[in-house]
Amino acid sequence: MTLTTFLKATVASAVIGLSAQTVSAEELSVATFVPPSHETVTGALAWFEREITERSGGTLTMKLFAAGQLGAGPSQQYKRVIEGVADITFGIAASTPTLFPKTMLAIPPGKSIDGLDSTERMWAVFDKYMADEWADVKVLAIGNPAGGMIIATRDVSTIDGMKGAKIVPFAAMTTPVIKGMGAVPVQLDPTEHYTGLSTGTIDGAVSSINNIMPPWNLDEVADYAVLNSPATFNPVYFAMNKERYESLSSEHRAIIDQISGLPFSMELARSFHEADQAALEWVKEQRASDQLNVEWITVSDEERAKMETAAAEGMAQIYEDYAARGIDNAREIYEALNQ
């Protein structure tokens, strides 16, 4: 072999090696505390898996660890992704509210009509007001499902009915709103709502409508489902370990960049929204056959107006609490979310 031939072969080998390295297969571990039948898995995460697999030609895939296989409950999911227990985790931002105080301002009642609307509004101002809170991870998605139902063991469809009721808010930061309505806020993880209602620890919980159905089955332990109270929201997220993201090839990072942020967030919000729509159809069928376990109540316009007044008064207390923690622009952020 001549020197020229040898050099050509060496260069060709290096190019082939570089190409192989660029498209080397990567599998991302994904941890979630919810079961594999949950809408975030069958909806949003299925979409994410399909997108990364198709766009990468099968060189970027994921492996799911559902139902708390890598750690139970929502409160430690952010810590787990920071520490690399999983490459990607699903969590509830309000489970660690001190980490995301500005993001929490997407939770209280405002002009958002549903979770899709709230998610779009949040991402319109995310870079300006909230991105710095998430600097330690690669944010894949933050979606805002709506708490459109109060599932309860007593009728809380009026301000008078709310008085003294032990209610779990959709997120702890709306405690002043719940108090303003005369109720007693109680903090429980969503996974504890069923037991709390069945034992009388709580009288009700602000919840997504679909939680009336399997796998949560809250209709089994409640007597009332109350609709048309002022909707609150609860940002949930898929976050990726930053070092793991940066270790990927530029091609794989580009794929993740293309679908993360608003696109994936809307899929996440849509998974809850569509589950709620399916739940409403299920409720209609159950009511038609007289098999619904709960009394289905829609809050009247008059009572809704009273609740909205109480919610607005509660926001004043929230602004004061934020100012005491050194966040002086809480009102500005809330108003930007509700333009």
Residue 75 burial by CB count (10 A; 0-12/13-18/19+): exposed, middle or buried? middle
Q: In Å, what is the CA distance from 14 to each residue of 19, 271, 311, 331?
A: 9, 45, 65, 57
Q: Quick one: what percent of the chain has pLDDT higher than 70?
A: 93
First to last CA, the chain: 73
Distance CA 313, CA 278 (A): 34
Is residue 23 very low, low, confident or very high in pLDDT (cuts 50, 70, 90)? low
Describe the crossing of helices 262-288 and 250-259 by its angle, rounded to 10 degrees: 50
Domain 25-96+112-145+235-274 fold is D-Maltodextrin-Binding Protein; domain 2 (3.40.190)
> Any idea where the domains of the chain sit in the sequence?
25-96+112-145+235-274, 146-234+291-337
Distance CA 311, CA 322 (A): 16
Which residues are CB-contacts of 98 (< 8 A; sequence separation ≥ 6)?
none
Provide the whole-model pTM.
0.86
Among the four given CATH numbers 3.40.190.170, 1.10.10.350, 1.10.569.10, 3.40.50.1370, the one describing domain 146-234+291-337? 3.40.190.170
- The pLDDT tens digits for 45-99 are 999 999 999 999 999 999 999 999 999 989 899 999 999 999 999 999 988 999 9
Instruction: Specify the pLDDT at position 159.
Output: 96
- Give the residue-averaged pLDDT of 174-195: 92
- The pLDDT tens digits for 202-219 are 999 999 999 998 878 999
Average pLDDT, the chain: 92
